[in-house]
């Protein structure tokens, strides 16, 4: 079946540090890959996505590149801010169009804490 594995948190960084949150997936074919962010007390927001191999998704300074050869979609940001403190979820939708409308399979989430 499909699955997503994320690095465990919490990850604690100082402001302006470089961020990497690792994500690898198991799926047949070429799934669509996503990063969602959950700020304290809020719901899930789509941060970025990539739908085919070698695509790079980017938003708000965050980037992730779809690597088919390593089945990975690591999240990176060059300089984090305190406001980036949140839980980050990697997720996938399997390839193809299904009658189910493509359910998301999530990783366990990685909590990021950014300190001054």
Partner 1 sequence: EPEVTQTPSHQVTQMGQEVILRCVPISNHLYFYWYRQILGQKVEFLVSFYNNEISEKSEIFDDQFSVERPDGSNFTLKIRSTKLEDSAMYFCASMAGVWSNEQFFGPGTRLTVL
Binding site for partner 1 (CB under 8 A): 32, 36, 42-46, 49, 51, 89, 91, 93, 97-109
- Minimal distance in Å, beta carbon 10 to partner 1? 12
Who contacts 33 (Cβ-Cβ below 8 Å, separation ≥6)?
23, 25, 49, 50, 51, 57, 64, 66, 73, 90, 91, 92
- Minimal distance in Å, beta carbon 107 to partner 1? 7
Which of 84/110 has CB closer to partner 1? 110
Rounded CA-CA distance 99/23 in Å is 27
Which of 49/77 has CB closer to partner 1? 49
- Minimal distance in Å, beta carbon 110 to partner 1? 11
Rounded CA-CA distance 27/14 in Å is 35
């Amino acid at each position: 079946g499909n699955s997503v594995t994320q690095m465990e948190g919490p990850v604690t960084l100082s402001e302006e540090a470089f961020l990497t949150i690792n994500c690898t997936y198991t799926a047949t074919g070429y799934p669509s890959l996503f990063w969602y962010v959950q700020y304290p007390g809020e719901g899930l927001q789509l941060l970025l996505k990539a739908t085919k191999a070698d695509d790079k998704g980017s938003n708000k300074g965050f980037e992730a590149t779809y690597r088919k050869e390593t089945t990975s979609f690591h999240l990176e940001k060059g300089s984090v801010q305190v406001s980036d403190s949140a839980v980050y979820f990697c997720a996938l939708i399997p390839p193809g169009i299904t009658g189910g409308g493509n359910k998301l399979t999530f990783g366990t989430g990685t909590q990021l804490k950014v300190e001054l």
